[in-house]
């Protein structure tokens, strides 16, 4: 039996099968509809190699012998469609898919908008249009200025473990809309980045092994709750980014794996499909229908949930056909190389599509490879992202900071090398969840020395991070010196704020964030070489760095002179070359007593002298405490 063509337009079928249906979620899945004057639900699913597909659910006892929906394939398109009269919102359902050999499988809807709470796995008929948005001002603002010239402070959050009342007692979206948003605003962040919130069966996968790409996880409540959370962020001036996993998917039986009994969303060649490092399957980017599925999913989160951008996970594993694979699984492309040509095409198409409809979006590549031009436009051969995570900077800096200060002089290049390539891409400097799990220790516990010295090192490190070119991302807990590694099964150790050093660290981070946002020189020219200028890069023996951050030529963008002392030696007088004559005001001192520092005497203002130094015509003398950072700004225009 053939399904009525009224259910799906021929244009949609053509575009879907050619990889050009960019809002496929409006066609596929379960949608409330009317047909011949009767209300019900329209079901549409792609299963080209299935012998038969039925819809089963709580409305027919999960028994396909009692058919409520007459599902049939539309011609030879591979798309099945049908209408369930009398069905409505809240109905639980799955597709019963009979493979070519007759084996029957129960599958969740790839386009399902809501899933049952795990361990149950059925899809739920849901409308996503109930919530009344209040972010019109947010949506219409900020489009006239490129993101490169704006401050960006991202707070990375795993919603389950930010706060917990007990094991698996998660905050719901509505409660987070109050508590999390207030907290982030109070600390001065500009964005929240959510670890994946697409539906996933295992809590401890953190969302990186998904089964429901169009369903916000039910762990934290219904979809309207997530919409409220994002709306509340926008109302407080906070952007929301989603960690998006488009490279691979979960193998659970109810998910995409062997969806119609054959490799459908995955490649038929197991060497291409398998991700042995993660126990997942890679998407087959060579299938146009998979492109329609993924490109539509990117737009779905921007359309329906008003997400402001995507952090695309594991780009390096997508573009390298043999990423972390044994020799027995190695393959090459049609030119004999190891670049995944189809994945590269997908990434370019992804960015072109997102920026076509949402030109103000943020598209960030989590890419640990040296692949060039990740943030260059596609029309010049780039991948088209507007930001890339700077994993090289992160690795070098953590290696340096983990070194005892007594031995740092021999590793000086670790903190200076990044400036050789800092402007080759548009970078985000990530201090993410990946760096505080699996035995890597927390940010605070990576620092050498006794407890007070760990805090001094961390304040210094965060200060250098904030003044280094590039936008910023910090994982939750790092802002108050979480001592233990991130525990994904428990809330952050908020009780630590009862202790002075942790409370002081939180106050320091609030001040550091405010300082960053207040002074345009620290972010206005992040992507331009002229935005950074070394004063003294070569003082390895004293573990000292001095440099200047430059904004544009306006008075509000006057340069910031930065002094970093990575040693245990304090200097009552330290001379620094400066380009401008006049007075310099102290903007920030990490060694303040209020931040947990020594509180040693520090002038709030110093005057330059006509003593040339470091290639500059003038110089200033300032005290420099041990393991500290100071920021100074000239009063001159």
| Cα gap 116→218, rounded to integer Å | 7
| Cα gap 383→377, rounded to integer Å | 6
Answer yes or no: 366 catalytic.
Answer: yes
Query: What is the CA angle 213-214-216, rounded to 5?
Result: 95
* Residues pairing with 82 in the sheet: 43
Catalytic residue, from 284, 313, 340, 592: name it: 313
| Cα gap 218→114, rounded to integer Å | 7
Taking the alpha carbons of 34, 227, 366, 245 in that order, is the dihedral positive or negative? negative
Cβ-Cβ contacts under 8 Å for 231 (sequence gap 6 or more): 131, 133, 134, 135, 177, 306
| Helical ranges in 313-382 per DSSP H | 315-319, 341-357
Which tokens sit at 191?
A: 């964005």
| Helical ranges in 277-319 per DSSP H | 288-304, 315-319
Q: How is the beta sheet containing 274-275 ordered, strand by strand?
A: 248-249, 280-282, 274-275
CA nearest to 344, candidates 311, 313, 312, 318: 318
- In 432-570, beta strands by DSSP E: 471-475, 532-536, 544-549, 560-565
Cβ-Cβ contacts under 8 Å for 483 (sequence gap 6 or more): 442, 444, 445, 493, 496
Contact 413, 448 (CB under 8 A): no
Catalytic residue, from 109, 366, 396, 536: name it: 366
* Residues pairing with 280 in the sheet: 275
Contact 160, 203 (CB under 8 A): yes
| Helical ranges in 314-390 per DSSP H | 315-319, 341-357
Neighbours of 547 (CB within 10 A): 22
Identify the DSSP state of 76.
Answer: T
Which tokens sit at 390?
A: 């700077």
| Cα gap 524→464, rounded to integer Å | 17
Taking the alpha carbons of 57, 58, 63, 69 in that order, is the dihedral positive or negative? negative
- Annotate 425-472 with three-state secondary structure: CCEEEEECHHHHCCCCCCHHHHCCCCHHHHHHHHHHHHHHHHHCCCEE
CA nearest to 161, candidates 396, 488, 433: 488
| Cα gap 478→106, rounded to integer Å | 43
Which tokens sit at 619?
A: 């110089």
Identify the DSSP state of 405.
Answer: G
Which tokens sit at 265?
A: 């969303």
CA nearest to 123, candidates 88, 148, 147, 90: 90
Which tokens sit at 625?
A: 């405490």
Answer yes or no: 313 catalytic.
Answer: yes
Which tokens sit at 15?
A: 């575009």
The C-alpha R_g of the chain, in whole angstroms, comes to 27
| Cα gap 589→597, rounded to integer Å | 9
Pairing verdict, β 362-365 and 92-98: unpaired
| Residue positions annotated with a catalytic role | 313, 366
């Amino acid at each position: 039996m053939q399904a009525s063509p009224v259910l799906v337009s021929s244009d949609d079928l053509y575009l879907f099968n050619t990889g050009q249906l960019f809002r496929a979620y409006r066609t596929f899945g379960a949608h409330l509809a009317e047909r011949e004057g009767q209300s019900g639900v329209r079901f549409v699913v792609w299963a080209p190699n299935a012998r038969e597909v039925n819809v089963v659910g709580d409305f027919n006892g999960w028994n396909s012998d009692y058919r409520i929906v007459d599902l049939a394939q539309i011609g030879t398109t591979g798309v099945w469609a049908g209408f369930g009269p009398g069905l409505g919102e809240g109905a639980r359902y799955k597709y019963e898919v009979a493979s070519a050999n007759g084996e029957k499988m129960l599958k969740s809807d790839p386009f399902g908008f809501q899933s049952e709470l795990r361990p149950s796995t059925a899809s739920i008929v849901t409308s996503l249009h109930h919530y009344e948005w209040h972010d019109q001002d947010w949506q219409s603002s900020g489009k006239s200025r490129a993101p490169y010239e704006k401050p960006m402070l991202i707070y990375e959050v795993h919603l389950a473990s930010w706060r917990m009342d007990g094991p698996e007692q998660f905050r719901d979206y509505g409660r987070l809309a109050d508590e999390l948003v207030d907290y982030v605003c109070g600390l001065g962040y500009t964005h929240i980045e959510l670890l994946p919130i697409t539906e996933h069966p295992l809590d401890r996968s953190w969302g990186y092994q998904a089964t429901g790409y169009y369903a916000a996880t039910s762990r934290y409540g219904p979809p309207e709750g997530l919409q409220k959370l994002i709306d509340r962020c926008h109302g407080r001036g906070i952007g929301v980014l989603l960690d998006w996993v488009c490279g691979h998917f979960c193998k659970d039986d109810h998910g995409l794996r062997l969806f119609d009994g054959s490799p459908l969303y995955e490649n038929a060649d197991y060497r291409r499909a398998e991700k042995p490092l993660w126990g997942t399957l890679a998407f087959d980017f060579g299938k146009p229908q998979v492109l329609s599925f993924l490109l539509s999913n990117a737009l779905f989160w921007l359309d329906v949930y008003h997400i402001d951008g995507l952090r695309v996970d594991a780009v390096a594993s997508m573009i390298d056909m043999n990423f972390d694979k044994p020799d027995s699984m190695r393959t090459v492309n049609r030119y004999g190389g190891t670049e995944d040509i189809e994945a590269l095409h997908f990434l370019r198409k992804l960015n072109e599509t997102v920026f076509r409809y949402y030109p103000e979006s943020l598209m960030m590549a989590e890419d640990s490879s040296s692949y060039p031009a990740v943030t260059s436009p596609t029309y010049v051969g780039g991948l088209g992202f507007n930001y890339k995570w700077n994993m090289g900077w992160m690795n070098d800096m953590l290696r340096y900071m983990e070194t005892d200060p007594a031995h740092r002089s021999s590793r000086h290049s670790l903190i200076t090398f990044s400036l050789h390539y800092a402007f080759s891409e548009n970078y985000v400097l990530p201090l993410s969840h990946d760096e505080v799990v699996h035995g890597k220790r927390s940010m605070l516990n990576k620092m050498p020395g006794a407890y007070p010295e760990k805090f001094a090192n961390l304040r210094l490190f965060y200060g250098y991070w904030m003044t280094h070119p590039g936008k910023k991302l910090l994982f939750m807990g790092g802002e108050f010196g979480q001592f233990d590694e991130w525990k994904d099964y428990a809330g952050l150790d908020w009780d630590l704020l009862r202790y002075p050093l942790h409370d002081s660290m939180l106050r320091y981070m609030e001040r550091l964030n405010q300082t960053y946002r207040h002074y345009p020189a620290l972010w206005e020219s992040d992507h331009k070489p002229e935005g950074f200028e070394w004063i003294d890069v070569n003082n390895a023996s004293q573990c000292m760095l001095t440099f200047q951050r430059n904004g544009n030529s306006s008075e509000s963008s006057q340069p910031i002179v930065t002094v970093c002392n990575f040693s245990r030696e304090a200097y009552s007088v330290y001379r620094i070359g400066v380009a401008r004559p006049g007075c310099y005001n102290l903007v920030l001192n990490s060694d303040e007593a209020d931040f947990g520092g020594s509180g040693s005497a520090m002038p709030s203002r110093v005057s330059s002298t006509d003593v040339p130094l470091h290639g500059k015509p003038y110089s200033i003398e300032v005290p420099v405490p041990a393991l500290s950072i100071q920021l100074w700004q000239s009063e001159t225009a």
